[in-house]
Amino acid sequence: MHNDISADEVYAMWIDQQFQEQLCRATGALSWTVDVDARAGGATMRVRRKLPTAGLPYAIGKIVPTGLTTTETVAWGLPAADGARTATLSVDFAGAPATMKGTIRLLADGAAASTVVVDADFRVHLPLIGARLERIAVPIVLGVIDTEEATGRAWVAGAG
């Protein structure tokens, strides 16, 4: 996704507790906890969301009948000279045999624009039906990224 603000500004938004809570609201979480541990030069963020199961496809709802709680952990490293940063991303799906792991790269496109690249591998660890469930989940995972992008734009517009 592409941003009309600098990499530093995107980073500041991302590790803002209130922005993360806004993302939880925007993705329809029923409840959430956000922990941001910002240190000099980096930050680790842990966001736990309890998600409604009402809208989940039947095949997924069947394996998480009591609901789905996700814990997203993002650990940002030190910035490069131009503000670019890389984070490790890990999402745990409590009660479901699924994992998501990857990286988020925040790239500087000059001083006033930036790009965020999410490169993650979503796996459902179940024999026989795992691959099918992964395919079912693809538009849902993309939808969360789409929602977070739109919410980020609205956040920037509202602050500016």
CB nearer to other proteins: give 50 or 153: 153
Binding window for other proteins (CB under 8 A); candidates: 90-98, 106-114, 116-124, 152-160: 152-160
Residue 150 makes contact with other proteins by CB under 8 A? yes
Among residues 13, 15, 45, 56, the one that binds other proteins under rule CB under 8 A: 56
**C-alpha span between 150 and 133 (Å, rounded):** 26
Residue 26 makes contact with other proteins by CB under 8 A? yes
Kind of pairing, strands 68-76 and 42-51?
A: antiparallel
Among residues 27, 71, 90, 99, the one that binds other proteins under rule CB under 8 A: 27
Both ends of the chain: CA-CA distance in Å?
A: 19
Q: Are 85 and 79 in contact (CB under 8 A)?
A: yes
Among residues 55, 65, 110, 160, the one that binds other proteins under rule CB under 8 A: 55
Q: Name the minimum Å distance from CB 119 to other proteins.
A: 15
Dihedral (C-alpha) 38, 120, 24, 36: value to the nearest 10 degrees? -10
Among residues 1, 70, 105, 128, the one that binds other proteins under rule CB under 8 A: 1
**C-alpha span between 1 and 45 (Å, rounded):** 20
Kind of pairing, strands 85-94 and 114-124?
A: unpaired
How many residues touch other proteins under the rule CB under 8 A: the total is 29
Tallying the residues shown for the chain, one arrives at 160
Q: Which residues bind other proteins (CB under 8 A)?
A: 1-2, 22, 25-28, 54-57, 60, 136-137, 139-140, 142-144, 146-147, 149-151, 153-155, 157-158
